[in-house]
A and B are shown apart, each in its own frame.
Chain A
Amino acid sequence: MEKEIEKEIEKEIEKEIEKEIEKENQNEIEKEIEKEIEKEIEKENQNEIEKENEINADDFESKFVNQTYSQIAEHFNQTRKKVWPQVFDFISNSECGSLVADIGCGNGKNCRVSENIFTLGSDRNEELAKIANNLNNLPTCQMKTSIIIDDNLNLSLRSNFFDKVISIAVLHHFSTIDRRILALQELFRITKPGGHILITVWAFEQKKKYEKQDVMIPWKLQKRFFNQKQLEKDQEQIELKRYYHLFYKGELKELIEKFENINLISETFNSDNWVYLCEKKKQQ
């Protein structure tokens, strides 16, 4: 009798265990499905970026780089005042009478570094160009600067002309490899033989982990920087997106090395950016 009861109990326990296992499996399956869905969404986002790029990289960048900068220009300006030591050293260690081109100059913070040089600042974005130019309107100025609106992919500047060319946080806004190469080609074209080029781009290998290279980085625009149209909205801040391509170590190096007239002097990692120092070879 007792044995039968024991058997019954054992059976019950087994059943319970089976149920538990089944439940666990069920959970696991659900988790798997969730993961799959997440992956699909991720893929979809990626496709969206790629699709937009295919349609027209120019329109895509116009929307997610240029138009965003137009809206955040003043706010952006307030947060970008300090010149990076590496950029400062590169520019200020120039011979007196050097000509420097700052392609993608943004608010112009790198355009007034040394009184011994002339700096030509160029940006595709009109709002940023205006901000960069206003900084110049001091009554007596020791710095020598002009600002133009121009396209990094087709610079209206003379070939083999500038002693130094800088491209600070610009190339990561181009959405295809062909456009990155074309941008480099223009930077190298305007540099004189024997002249130097300094390039910085956002690195993939930064403290904040990103899952993919092509990302939309949100900018939280505060109310005090709203334009007339935005003020109609009853919000304290609005979120705008900027497109970035995060570069792997060696990725831009590979592109630079395609140019036979360019020596890559160094590739270094600095504050979440890859920094490239190049020299245009002297003509034989």
Chain B
Amino acid sequence: MKLITHNMLESRVKDCPDDKRFPLGINATKVIEQKVVLNKQFIINILTKIDWEVLLEAIKQIGYNEKIELPLEIPVEIEKDDDLIMKIHHALLEIEIIEGELICQGTGRKFTIKEGIANMLLNSEELK
């Protein structure tokens, strides 16, 4: 599971307060890096859609904040900074969480990540 995916997931547990659904916490026990071809325009355009703070927090939670240093805010002239674009590309698309869990911040419910796939299924009592 790529870090960009973490930016799309929210908890649908019945008892979770609405303001705690997003983002989910991460506890990663196995992380790998996998090369993805850079598509500069893709990165520039995707930055308008993702939650930057959530990305920074995710990097921290998997212990990569020293390996990938990103600014607190997205610079205005991002398209001129190839170095930073490469870093963002790496963070969003090349880091794969293989084993671990995602944690609902409202209820503590854990969702297992196994073989790179997060299992988000709920049982019937947890459904809205």
Listed in ascending order, the chain A residues whose CB lies under 8 Å from chain B are: 58, 95-99, 115-118, 120, 124, 126, 129-130, 133, 136-137, 139-142, 144, 146-151, 154-158, 161-162
- B55: Cβ under 8 A from any A Cβ: no
Set of chain B residues within 8 Å of A98, measured between Cβ atoms: 45
Task: A129 to B4: give the CA distance in the assembly, Å.
Answer: 18
**Among residues 19 to 78 in chain B, which have CB atoms less than 8 Å away from a CB atom of chain A?**
22, 34-37, 39, 41-46, 48-49
Q: Is A95 in contact with B45, judged by CB distance below 8 angstroms?
A: yes
Task: A115 to B51: give the CA distance in the assembly, Å.
Answer: 22
Set of chain A residues within 8 Å of B12, measured between Cβ atoms: 154-156
B81 to chain A, nearest CB (A): 17
> What are 29 pairs between A and B in contact, CB < 8 Å?
A96-B39, A96-B41, A97-B44, A97-B45, A97-B46, A97-B49, A117-B42, A118-B4, A118-B93, A126-B119, A130-B115, A133-B115, A137-B34, A139-B35, A140-B36, A141-B34, A141-B37, A144-B4, A144-B93, A148-B118, A149-B118, A150-B120, A151-B120, A154-B12, A154-B128, A155-B12, A156-B111, A157-B10, A158-B9
The answer, among A116, A147, A149, A155, for a CB contact under 8 Å with B42, is: A116
Q: Is A148 in contact with B46, judged by CB distance below 8 angstroms?
A: no
Q: Is A150 in contact with B121, judged by CB distance below 8 angstroms?
A: yes
B28 to chain A, nearest CB (A): 14
Task: A133 to B128: give the CA distance in the assembly, Å.
Answer: 28
Set of chain A residues within 8 Å of B45, measured between Cβ atoms: 95-98
Q: Is A99 in contact with B8, judged by CB distance below 8 angstroms?
A: yes
A60 to chain B, nearest CB (A): 14
- B117: Cβ under 8 A from any A Cβ: yes
B95 to chain A, nearest CB (A): 11
The answer, among B8, B10, B36, B119, for a CB contact under 8 Å with A149, is: B119
Assuming A96-B45, A97-B46, A116-B42, is B36 touching A148 (CB within 8 A)? no
- B90: Cβ under 8 A from any A Cβ: no
B24 to chain A, nearest CB (A): 9
Task: A146 to B98: give the CA distance in the assembly, Å.
Answer: 11
Task: A154 to B2: give the CA distance in the assembly, Å.
Answer: 22
Q: Is B1 in contact with A142, judged by CB distance below 8 angstroms?
A: no
Which residue of chain A has its CB nearest to the CB of B113?
A148
Task: A65 to B8: give the CA distance in the assembly, Å.
Answer: 27
A114 to chain B, nearest CB (A): 10
B66 to chain A, nearest CB (A): 25
Set of chain B residues within 8 Å of A156, measured between Cβ atoms: 9-12, 111, 120
